[in-house]
Amino acid sequence: MIQELLIDWQFWIKSLHIISVISWMAGMFYLPRLFVYHVEKASIGSEMSETFKIMERRLLRAIINPAMIATWVFGLLMVFTPGVIDWSMIWPWVKALSVILMSGFHGWLSARRKDFERDENTRSGQTYRLVNEIPTVLMVAIVIMVIVKPF
């Protein structure tokens, strides 16, 4: 019964999954950039610093967190849809690992946002510039695994 429902709705589920992923990635690209500006342009206690805190909190709570949750929900629904994934191949495992790593990076960014909130950030703008590449690398791996299925 549930499997038939998943099959009937699989294109809607896939569409909602892609929409969720795009929203999640947009936030994952933008939040580290906000951290760069926060570190380099706003001194602790300044009005600009407080504005960055609001922007970072709202981005994480209103966009990134809900989008990640939706990505996981719709992704897992696809995992349980018969015929969508061939687990005997390597690509779904690489994709799953990449999504887990992306989720871990999401958690790391959430912790850094709390550091900024408490005025306890110890990382440089350069650090945030470097880590800003992590979601790009993971996204490339995920897209290649899903579209090309090289292994």
Residue 68 banded pLDDT, cuts 50, 70, 90: very high
1 pLDDT more than 90: no
Residue range 44-66: mean pLDDT, rounded: 98
Measured in residues, the chain has a length of: 151
pLDDT given at position 56: 98
CA distances from 104 to 6, 20, 68, 80, 135 (A): 28, 17, 11, 23, 11
Mean pLDDT in residue range 110-125: 98
Q: State the pTM of this model.
A: 0.93
pLDDT for residue 50: 98
Query: What are the tens digits of pLDDT across the range 10-40?
Result: 999 999 999 999 999 999 999 999 999 999 9
CA 90 – CA 138 distance, rounded (Å): 16
Residue of 11, 15, 13, 12 lying closest to 77 (CA atoms): 13
